[in-house]
Amino acid sequence: MELTDDTLRDLHRRMVRIRLFEEAAGRLAEANKLPGFLHLYVGEEAVAAGVCVALTDEDQITSTHRGHGHLVAKGGDFNRMMAELMAKSTGYCKGKGGSMHISDLELGMLGANGIVGAGTPIAVGAGFANKYRDNGKVAAAFFGDGATNIGAFHEAANMACALKLPVVFVCENNEYGEFTPRHKTMAITDIVDRAVGYGMPSVMVDGMDAVAVYEAAVEAVARARAGAGPSLIEAKTYRYYNHHGVQNLGLKYRPDAEVERWKERDAINGIQARMAEAGVMTPDQAEAVWAEIRADIDAAIKFADESPTPDPSMLLVDVYSQNVEAL
Amino acid sequence: MTATEVEVRQLPYVMAFNEAVRQCMREDENIFCAGEDIGAFGGVFGTFGGLQKEFGERRVVDTPISEQAIVGLGVGAAVMGLRPIVDLMFMDFMCVAMDQIVNQAAKLKYMFGGTARIPLTITCGGGAGLSAAAQHSQSLEALLCHIPGLKVVVPSSPYDMKGLMVSCIREDNPTVMVKHKRMLGVSGPVPEELYAIPLGVANIVRPGTDVTVVAYGRMVSEAMLAAEQLAEEGVECEIVDPRTLQPLDSATIVASARKTNRVVVVHEAVRFGGIGAEIAAQIQEEAFDYLDAPVGRIGAPFSPVPFSPVLEAIYIPNAARIADGIRATFGRPARSV
Ligand SMILES: Cc1ncc(C[n+]2csc(CCOP(=O)(O)OP(=O)(O)O)c2C)c(N)n1
Ligand SMILES: [Mg+2]
């Protein structure tokens, strides 16, 4: 498979879109303009971008509490995302879900999730539906290192393998679950070790390298599409900000030097350097991408700001579906 | 304030919990705590702050994100004679551990012909009001109360928190202690010495003659505000806080109902199938002839908890709605909009 210049530009654009969206969200949260919890994806952009570029718009993903990056990478609309974070009626979930439940079924984004690990069995269900309909689509599940400690993940992984479903498991191993380092909650270092127990092919990639993630994802997606069953991709990555919000609150649970070390390997800097060297995108052209996306973010904030809050009459709407007459 | 009241130290709800655990752990080597981020970090709500520092990693254990195994760890260790306190962070996450709670912890004693003893305390943060949306805001206590074998504890003040938590820890049955997330910072008088409030004994928070308001958890403070409004309208409310929902102090509730002849039951949980329905049913069974009005029930509407602060504010029962519920038992019109 050949890595095209367009693919590089696509990876770059999706990552910058995530970065700028998340940084804007962080600023808004610090200005007390976003209610609820906010789990930022900054630092991990290469994972969502690398996987989603390898998927088609028709493929599905499931996400986590740290879900904005996944939706942006899948093509999410800034206006509706920002409006949801601000709890406005024009948001993706009409202001009823917020950051932790952001979703766009039309883009195959089956939801951020407030319950750690809960997205993985749902991806198995989406994969099942794909196989059932023989539609050639693939479902990818994003989840954290911490989520691999929960039963739902193990049941999902085993079932997907047993039923040979078109699913790609994507672990974002950022070395922490909330404020507890990974080594305190599992006796293994690499999540890929878990795949062996399910008879699932797996690969470990540098999650700060979008191209590496992309290439691994292309292979896993092809395997799933060909009917050869699921794979696990473990991307070693890092979140720059706190577990939720931006700043570390009080207690320090990870050394500053560690954060700085990861930032030196920033995925966006990495791909920009690579593209500059290859003559694919000059620094000026890269800057133009940032500027364009910044303008989109500003427009989204304006849109969200000017949007109405949900009407009180909406409280009891959408608890149940209206039955659709069977065709 | 009297001299004795001045002397009683003020402590936030969160620290009342913490102090109960700390003092009990000093007394009983069999007590240990386990849960996510409770060690070095002290728990996401700060409830376990400093405990690992005092008792070490042996007795204050950071676990993986594994709610089913966390409760199971507690069940197994309890059967073996330890006295575990296991934390589920948000009450919503108990759903992940439901088998261990409902099919194991609650039933082992009975199924084993009485041979097992499960001195297990499960702690969690319940309640809405933080724009935390539908999976981090629920009040699921009615689910637990329906299960024979479990005890369910819902403190409404720092004083009650400490005394009830001590009883949970000393209890030889599985208890679920629900800390209301929005009360963590609320301060009140809490004696420094170790004391226990028995499970199953209601507290008459405010004596009154005209109407009984049964409320628990954070709704007690809302009911108090409603009672102040009603006092201005010439109605004296008696507020009964059951403190524990299982066991339920039906006798105190029924006695109050017989005295005042009117009852409104309040909870933050969804009204349909909530514990208020059980309380209302018991009152009509035991005090039917005394009632001058149907028992009123105030609870959340039948929807998941919305994220939007605007919708959430409408969703959560408050003093104004409680006051209207009380007025209704006198046939008076509602005043809130
Ligand atoms: C079932 C469940 N348990 C606990 C939590 C609280 N919680 C939210 S995020 C998180 C850490 C998740 O760690 P990981 O899966 O590594 O994802 P990361 O935050 O590092 O992206 C925890 C414990 C939860 N939301 N759901
Ligand atoms: Mg993690």
Give the per-residue pLDDT at B89. 98
Is B146's pLDDT higher than 90? yes
CA geometry: angle at B153 spanning B235 and B311, to 5°? 65
> Smallest Cα–Cα separation from A297: which of A19, A31, A91, A105?
A19
Question: Does residue B23 share a domain with residue B144?
Answer: yes
**Distance (Å, rounded) from C-alpha A230 to C-alpha A176?**
25
Tell whether B89 and B224 lie within a shared domain: no
Q: Are B163 and B221 found together in one domain?
A: no
Domains defined for chain A, CATH in brackets: 5-307 (3.40.50.970)
- A42 C-alpha to ligand 2 centroid (Å): 13
Please enumerate in sequence order all residues whose Cβ is within 8 A of that of A130, keeping only pairs 6 or more positions apart, or say none: A60, A136, A137, A138, A139, A165, A166
Same-domain status, B127 and B256: no
Q: Does residue B224 sit within a domain?
A: yes
SS3 (DSSP) at B227: helix
| Any ligand 1 atom below 6 A from CB of A177 | yes
The alpha carbon of A40 and the centre of ligand 1 are apart by a number of angstroms equal to 13
Cα torsion A295, A297, A301, A306: sign: positive
A142 Cβ inside 6 Å of ligand 1: no
Q: Quote the minimal CA–CA distance from A213 to chain B in Å.
A: 26
Cβ-in-10-Å burial (0-12, 13-18, 19+) of A151 comes to middle
Chain centroid, CA B144 distance in Å: 12
If we measure between CA atoms, which residue out of A257, A219, A293 comes closest to residue A24?
A293
Tell me: pLDDT of B134 over 50: yes
* Residue B336 within a domain: no
| B107: pLDDT strictly greater than 90 | yes
Residues B216 and B134 in one domain: no
pLDDT number for residue B1: 46
Partners of residue A185 in chain B, C-beta under 8 Å: 62-65
For chain B, the domain total comes to: 2
* pLDDT of amino acid B8: 87
Tell if the CB–CB gap between B36 and A177 is shorter than 8 Å.
yes
Pick the last residue of a domain from B130, B162, B189.
Answer: B189
pLDDT at B59: 98
Is there an atom of ligand 1 within 6 Å of A209 CB?
no
Domain boundary among B189, B220, B239: B189
- C-alpha distances (whole Å) from B102 to each of B63, B98, B146, B275 are 21, 6, 10, 18
Closest CA to B261 of B289, B240, B282: B289
DSSP B99: I
Taking contacts as CB-CB distances below 8 angstroms, the residues of chain A near B314 are 312, 315
Residue type, B73: L
| Residue B173 falls inside a structural domain | yes
Instruction: Give the alpha-carbon dihedral of B106, B112, B115, B116, to 10 degrees.
Output: -30
CATH number at residue B313: 3.40.50.920
Q: Which residue of B has its CA nearest to A34?
A: B131
Q: Is residue B133 in a domain? A: yes
Question: Mean pLDDT in each 10-residue stretch from start to end of chain A (327 residues)?
Answer: 92 98 96 96 98 98 98 98 98 98 98 98 98 98 98 98 98 96 96 98 98 98 98 97 80 88 98 98 98 98 98 97 76
Examine the domain organization and report whether B117 and B245 are in the same domain: no
Domain CATH number, residue B183: 3.40.50.970
Percent of chain A with pLDDT over 70: 98
Expressed as residue numbers, the domain containing B143 is 7-189
Asked if residue B197 belongs to a domain, the reply is no
In a domain, B194, yes or no: no
- Boundary (domain end) residue, out of B166, B189, B212: B189
B130 and B227 belong to one structural domain: no
Same domain for B170 and B216, yes or no, is no
Residues B248 and B179 reside in one and the same domain? no
**Residue B163 domain-assigned (yes or no):** yes
Interchain contact, A310 vs B67, CB within 8 Å: no
B2 has a pLDDT exceeding 80: no
CA-nearest of A15, A69, A51, A40 to A141 is: A51
pLDDT at A27: 96
Q: Please tell me whether residues B164 and B211 are part of one structural domain.
A: no
Distance from CA of A155 to the nearest CA of B (A): 13
- Give me the pLDDT at residue A278, please: 97
Mean pLDDT of B102-126: 98
Is residue B163 located within the same domain as residue B208?
A: no
Give the gap in angstroms from C-alpha A214 to the nearest C-alpha of chain B.
Answer: 29
Q: List chain B residues with CB under 8 Å of A101.
A: 133-135, 307
The first and second tokens of residue B83, run together, are 């006295």
SS3 of residue A17 by DSSP? helix
Between strands B31-35 and B83-90, the pairing is parallel
| Nearest ligand to the CA atom of A243 | 1
Task: Please state, as a whole number, how many other Cβ atoms lie within 10 Å of the Cβ of residue B221.
Answer: 18
Predicted TM-score (pTM) of the model is 0.96
Q: Is residue B153 a contact partner of residue B216, using CB atoms and an 8 Å limit?
A: no
Indicate whether B198 belongs to any domain: no
3-state secondary structure (DSSP) of residue B196: coil
Report ipTM (2 d.p.). Answer: 0.95
Q: Taking residues B173-198, what's their average pLDDT?
A: 98
pLDDT of residue A245: 87
Nearest to A205 by CA among A177, A168, A172: A172
B178: part of which helix (H) or strand (E)? strand B175-180
> Quick one: B239 and B129 in the same domain?
no
Q: So what's the pLDDT on residue A326?
A: 58
